[in-house]
Amino acid sequence: MSTKRQNNTKERILANAEELILQRGFAGTSIDEILAATGITKGAFFYHFSNKAELAHVLIDRFWQRDCALLERLSQRANELSEDPLQSMLIFLKLFEEYLETLNDASKGCLFSRQEIEVRSQEAEVLKEYLYSQFLNNFKLIENKLFCKLVTILFSPNNREFG
């Protein structure tokens, strides 16, 4: 199987699994349902993922990477619109607010919260621990970015109190 075809199959599995899990939950979505939605065999699924928990880990990472990319795009846009660090941060918050207003399908939900709610089995407990550690790591990244922005604001030449 070519690498391009493997990546395409893996991406289809991820896309279909994410959609099903957001609709039905992790525990409510079986591997067989993912297979049916994707149109692949069990062998193809297990070629890419050793089990359902590994699939969940990859989905969580993928979901987070999309969120980070969005935040990075909004931050870059805010920096392009203003060189003043405080104005840039305010613009970023406004851009983020505008983005949130465009989310018209609230039923789609959040993969992070969807996983957190469903702690019913040992596999789910392992997933909960992974999700929690990923959330903490990712939260620290955001916290560090915001801290750096605040330091820049406080010590910018435009800030008459501290600069």
What the block records as the tokens of 128 is: 């909960």
The overall pTM is greater than 0.85: no
Quote the pLDDT of residue 39: 95
Quote the pLDDT of residue 13: 97
Return phi, psi of residue 18, to 5°.
-60, -45
Domains in the chain with CATH codes: 3-154 (1.10.357.10)
Q: How far apart are CA 51 and CA 142, in angstroms?
A: 30
Question: Do 126 and 59 touch, CB atoms closer than 8 A?
Answer: no
CB burial class (10 A; 0-12, 13-18, 19+) of residue 26?
Answer: buried
Which residue has tokens 């840039």?
Answer: 88
Which of 100, 130, 104 has the alpha carbon at shortest distance from 115?
Answer: 130
3 state DSSP class of 111: helix
Quote the pLDDT of residue 23: 86
Quote the pLDDT of residue 119: 45
Q: How far apart are CA 99 and CA 156, in angstroms?
A: 28
Quote the pLDDT of residue 57: 86
Q: How far apart are CA 112 and CA 131, in angstroms?
A: 7
Residue by residue, pLDDT tens for the chain (163 residues) are 566 666 799 999 999 999 998 888 888 899 999 999 999 999 999 999 999 889 988 998 888 888 888 888 988 999 899 988 888 888 988 998 898 888 765 546 666 555 544 545 555 666 667 666 776 777 777 777 777 777 776 666 665 554 4
Quote the pLDDT of residue 41: 95
Q: How far apart are CA 95 and CA 119, in angstroms?
A: 35
The separation between CA 2 and the C-alpha centre of its own chain, rounded to angstroms, equals: 28
The separation between CA 55 and the C-alpha centre of its own chain, rounded to angstroms, equals: 14
Q: How many CA atoms lie within 13 A of 24 on its CB side?
A: 14
- Dihedral sign for Cα 95, 98, 99, 100, please: positive
